[in-house]
């Protein structure tokens, strides 16, 4: 599904900075802190439609790129957290001062932060076109997708 946004700036190597308003479903959900405030999002997208500043564009991402990005941002930290819990559970059994559950939780959090740090360090590797949104076509603010 294509989302709409307005181009607020252009960068080198054919990138457009696009301001998008959080969708109605996300803004009204209130399941997370991001949904508590109706704020604008700013993204960089490949400008394949030749948009200029103040043009409205439809922003898309390939389904494969989206799935891979989700797996990177959620799957890797989840697996790191689970591995940390498992390792922490066995380490917690070696001492009696703190319970196993507390040690496993703390080690799980440490592994999660390490995973996020590793993901951040690999950002240039994942900045390829496969994971980058695309300003696919020009549109108007009120046009239906």
pLDDT tens-digit series, residues 1-15: 578 888 898 888 788
Does residue 28 carry a pLDDT above 90?
no
Closest CA to 46 of 133, 123, 138, 105: 133
pTM of the shown model? 0.59
Residue 125 CB-half CA count within 13 A:
7
Burial degree of 51 (CB within 10 A; 0-12, 13-18, 19+): buried
Mean pLDDT of the chain: 79
Bigger pLDDT: 63 vs 90: 90
Does residue 145 carry a pLDDT above 50?
no
Bigger pLDDT: 136 vs 35: 136
Helix (H, G, I), strand (E, B) or coil at 118: helix
How do residues 70-120 score in pLDDT, each as one tens digit? 888 899 999 999 999 999 888 877 666 677 888 899 999 999 999 999 998
Asked if 60 and 5 touch (Cβ cutoff 8 Å), the reply is no
């Amino acid at each position: 599904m294509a989302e709409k946004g307005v181009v607020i700036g252009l960068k080198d190597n054919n990138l457009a900075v696009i301001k998008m308003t959080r969708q109605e479903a996300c803004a009204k959900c209130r399941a997370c802190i991001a949904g508590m405030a109706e704020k604008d999002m700013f993204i960089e997208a490949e400008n394949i439609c030749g948009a200029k500043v103040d043009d409205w564009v439809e922003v898309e991402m390939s389904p494969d790129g989206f799935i891979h990005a989700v797996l990177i941002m959620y799957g890797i930290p989840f697996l790191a957290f689970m591995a940390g819990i498992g390792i922490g559970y066995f380490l917690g059994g070696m001492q009696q001062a703190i319970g196993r559950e507390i040690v496993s939780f703390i080690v799980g959090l440490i592994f999660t932060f390490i995973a996020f740090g590793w993901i951040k360090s690999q950002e240039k590797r994942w900045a390829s076109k496969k994971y980058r949104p695309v300003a696919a076509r020009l549109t108007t603010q009120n046009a239906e997708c």
